[in-house]
Amino acid sequence: MRKSVRLFLCGTGLACVFPVNAIAADAQIPQAKYRPPDDVTMIELRGTSEAGGLTGRFTMIVDLHSGRYVAQRDYGIYSEATGFDGQLGWKRDRSGASHFLNSDPARAITATEAWLFRRGWCEGENGATRVESRPDEKDGKVTEAVWNVTPKDGIPVLLRFEKANGLLHQSEVSLWSSRLVRHYSDWREIDGVLIPFAEKDEYPEDESVELIKIESAKVNLQNVDAKIFKRPPNIHDSAIN
Going by C-beta distance under 8 Å and a sequence separation of 6 or more, which residues neighbour residue 231?
83, 85, 88, 90, 92, 98, 99, 100
Give the least confident one: 86-95, 96-105, 192-201.
192-201
**Residue 189 burial by CB count (10 A; 0-12/13-18/19+): exposed, middle or buried?**
exposed
Other residues' Cβ atoms within 10 Å of the Cβ of residue 26? 10
Measured over the CA atoms of residue 217, residue 218, residue 219 and residue 223, the dihedral's sign is negative
Is the pLDDT score of 80 beyond 90? Answer: yes
Specify whether the CB–CB gap between 102 and 88 falls below 8 A.
yes
Structural domain contains residue 99: yes
Residue 66 is predicted with a pLDDT of 87
Query: What value does the mean pLDDT take over residues 96-123?
Result: 88
Query: What value does the mean pLDDT take over residues 203-224?
Result: 91
Give the least confident one: 95-99, 103-107, 189-193.
189-193
- In whole angstroms, give the CA distance from residue 194 to residue 18: 5
Structural domain contains residue 241: no
Say which CATH number the domain at 9 has. 2.50.20
Query: What value does the mean pLDDT take over residues 196-213?
Result: 95
Structural domain contains residue 234: no
Structural domain contains residue 112: yes
- In whole angstroms, give the CA distance from residue 153 to residue 163: 29
Q: How many folded domains does the chain comprise?
A: 1
φ, ψ of residue 114 to 5 degrees: the values are -65, -40
φ, ψ of residue 143 to 5 degrees: the values are -95, 130
**Rg from Cα positions in the chain:** 17
Residue 126 is predicted with a pLDDT of 63
Structural domain contains residue 231: no
Structural domain contains residue 190: yes
As a whole number, the mean pLDDT across the chain is 83
Specify whether the CB–CB gap between 209 and 51 falls below 8 A.
yes
CA angle, residues 143, 144, 150, in degrees to nearest 5? 170
Is the pLDDT score of 98 beyond 50? Answer: yes
Residue-range definition of the domain harbouring residue 23: 2-225
Query: What value does the mean pLDDT take over residues 192-196?
Result: 81
Query: What value does the mean pLDDT take over residues 150-168?
Result: 92
Specify whether the CB–CB gap between 183 and 170 falls below 8 A.
yes
Between 8 and 227, residue with greater pLDDT: 227
> 106, 136, 77: which is closest to 5 by C-alpha?
106
Give, to the nearest 10 degrees, the angle between helix 104-117 and helix 2-9. Answer: 30
Is the pLDDT score of 57 beyond 60? Answer: yes
Going by C-beta distance under 8 Å and a sequence separation of 6 or more, which residues neighbour residue 140?
none
Is the pLDDT score of 238 beyond 70? Answer: no
Measured over the CA atoms of residue 139, residue 145, residue 146 and residue 150, the dihedral's sign is negative
Q: Model confidence over 35-47: pLDDT tens digits?
A: 666 777 889 999 9
Structural domain contains residue 232: no
Predicted confidence band at 13 (pLDDT cuts at 50, 70, 90)? Answer: very low
Going by C-beta distance under 8 Å and a sequence separation of 6 or more, which residues neighbour residue 192?
19, 20, 36, 37, 40
Other residues' Cβ atoms within 10 Å of the Cβ of residue 238? 6
Predicted confidence band at 129 (pLDDT cuts at 50, 70, 90)? Answer: confident
Residue 100 is predicted with a pLDDT of 97
Structural domain contains residue 236: no
Predicted confidence band at 50 (pLDDT cuts at 50, 70, 90)? Answer: very high
Express as a percent the part of the chain with pLDDT over 70: 79
